[in-house]
């Protein structure tokens, strides 16, 4: 009998708030998590009863939507448009600054930890000095309005493993790829299947590109979101993953799943480039393993809350998730 991989849920913790972001703080199970109560907490999932330790400072005045670690600091972004720097050693605030005019959706750090990159609904991608907080550059290829003349959103951001490329993705399915030193656009891909417009009942849209990830060699770009939706008041469409050879403009590999519906919020490309782990959901959450050789979903598990954040260990075998009223640990192992 051939061995296959499976997700085993090995930890399940409930909470009262919605957790929009998380970042691993060490090689064990210590994390920072960002909450709908506008606060950031440290939590150790290896403890028998994990308890939160609050980060201290003025902080944010809205949802904490994204976080990264750089130079022994956590940098957080929020719907309040601010970036906040926090010391890892004592969880104290170091710096708070106005970064964007509208909601910050995603924050990332370059692999060498020298720069912070942020995207927000002002449709700008901004690059910051990770130590001083100085703005290095601001650029965009994303219109402020959708083709139907409604405000757009800039949801997604990715940096390649070598730090040479930045990708940004918006509500209507447009992805721009940038040289990370010159801040010039070097490519683009389109994923319009992740955008649904209802011209009659609601005159409203839903979907958009919610996650991006470069392959380890940066030749491919994974784009995550949701497929076409019948009722745009709900996330009732298939989770949708598209894999682009972004430099040659060939047709992408498409994988949709109707069993566990909803948005793909996070993508982690496995180091050998042959598999992707992604997480998201609708009112419930899913974690998926995609085999890229067969272009199929090869393993899947679920949780009771929509997953917003996903973190993996160094072996890419242990995954922690955070989302609506729920935190989980999943182990990826052989199913013999």
Share of the chain above pLDDT 70, in %: 97
Partners of 197 in beta bridges: 205
Chain segment 223-254, per-residue pLDDT in tens: 999 998 877 777 789 999 999 999 997 899 99
C-alpha to C-alpha distance for 316 and 209, rounded to whole angstroms: 24
**Token pair 């590999």 in the structure block, residue:** 253
Q: How confident is the model at residue 1 (pLDDT cuts 50, 70, 90)?
A: very low
CB 160 within 8 A of CB 222: no
Neighbours of 46 (CB within 10 A): 10
The DSSP code sequence of 190-227 is: E-GGGEEEETTTT-EEEE---EEEE-TTSS-EEEEEE-
The answer on pLDDT for 22 being more than 60 is yes
pLDDT at 3: 57
Q: How confident is the model at residue 11 (pLDDT cuts 50, 70, 90)?
A: very high
C-alpha to C-alpha distance for 39 and 333, rounded to whole angstroms: 34
Give the list of residues 6+ apart from residue 120 with CB closer than 8 angstroms, or none.
Answer: 77, 81, 99, 100, 101, 102, 103, 104, 105, 126, 154
pLDDT at 334: 79
pLDDT at 258: 87
pLDDT at 298: 93
Total-model pTM: 0.95
Neighbours of 137 (CB within 10 A): 16
Chain segment 128-182, per-residue pLDDT in tens: 999 999 999 999 999 999 998 889 999 999 999 999 999 999 999 999 999 999 9
Nearest of 183, 294, 175 to residue 224 by alpha carbon: 175
Q: Is the dihedral of CA 181, 186, 192, 196 positive or negative?
A: positive
Q: How confident is the model at residue 201 (pLDDT cuts 50, 70, 90)?
A: low
The answer on pLDDT for 122 being more than 80 is yes
Give the list of residues 6+ apart from residue 173 with CB closer than 8 angstroms, or none.
Answer: 190, 191, 192, 193, 194, 195, 207, 208, 209, 225
Q: Is the dihedral of CA 257, 259, 260, 262 positive or negative?
A: positive
CB 282 within 8 A of CB 239: no
Count helices and strands in the chain by DSSP H and E runs? 0, 28
Half-sphere exposure of 220 (CA within 13 A, CB side): 20
Average pLDDT on 289-316 reads: 94
């Amino acid at each position: 009998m051939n061995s296959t991989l499976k997700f085993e849920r090995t930890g399940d913790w409930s909470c009262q708030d919605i957790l929009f972001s998380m970042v691993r703080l060490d090689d064990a199970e210590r994390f920072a998590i960002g909450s709908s109560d506008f606060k950031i907490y440290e939590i150790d999932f290896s403890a028998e009863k994990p308890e939160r330790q609050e980060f201290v400072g003025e902080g944010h005045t809205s949802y904490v939507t994204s976080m990264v670690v750089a130079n022994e600091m956590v940098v957080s972004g929020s719907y309040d448009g601010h970036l906040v720097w926090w010391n890892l050693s004592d969880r104290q605030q170091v710096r708070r600054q106005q970064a964007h005019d509208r909601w910050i959706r995603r924050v990332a750090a370059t692999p060498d930890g020298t720069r912070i990159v942020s995207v927000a609904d002002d449709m700008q991608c901004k690059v910051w000095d990770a130590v001083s907080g100085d703005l290095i550059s601001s650029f965009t290829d994303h219109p402020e309005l959708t083709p139907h003349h409604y405000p757009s959103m800039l949801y997604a951001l990715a940096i390649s493993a070598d730090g040479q490329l930045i990708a940004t993705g918006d509500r209507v399915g447009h992805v721009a790829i940038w040289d990370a030193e010159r801040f010039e656009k070097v490519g683009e891909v389109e994923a319009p299947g992740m955008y649904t417009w209802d011209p009659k009942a609601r005159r409203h849209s839903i979907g958009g590109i919610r996650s991006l990830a470069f392959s380890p060699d940066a030749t491919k770009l994974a784009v995550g979101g949701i497929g076409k939706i019948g009722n745009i008041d709900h996330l009732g469409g298939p989770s949708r993953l598209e894999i682009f050879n972004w430099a040659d403009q060939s047709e992408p590999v498409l994988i949709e799943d109707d069993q566990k519906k909803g948005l793909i919020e996070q993508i982690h490309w496995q180091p050998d480039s042959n598999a992707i782990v992604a997480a998201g959901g609708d009112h419930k959450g899913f974690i998926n393993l995609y085999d890229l050789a067969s272009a199929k979903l090869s393993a899947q598990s679920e949780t009771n809350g929509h997953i917003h954040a996903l973190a993996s260990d160094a072996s890419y075998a242990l995954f922690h998730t955070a989302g609506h009223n729920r935190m989980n640990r999943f182990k990826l192992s052989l199913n013999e």
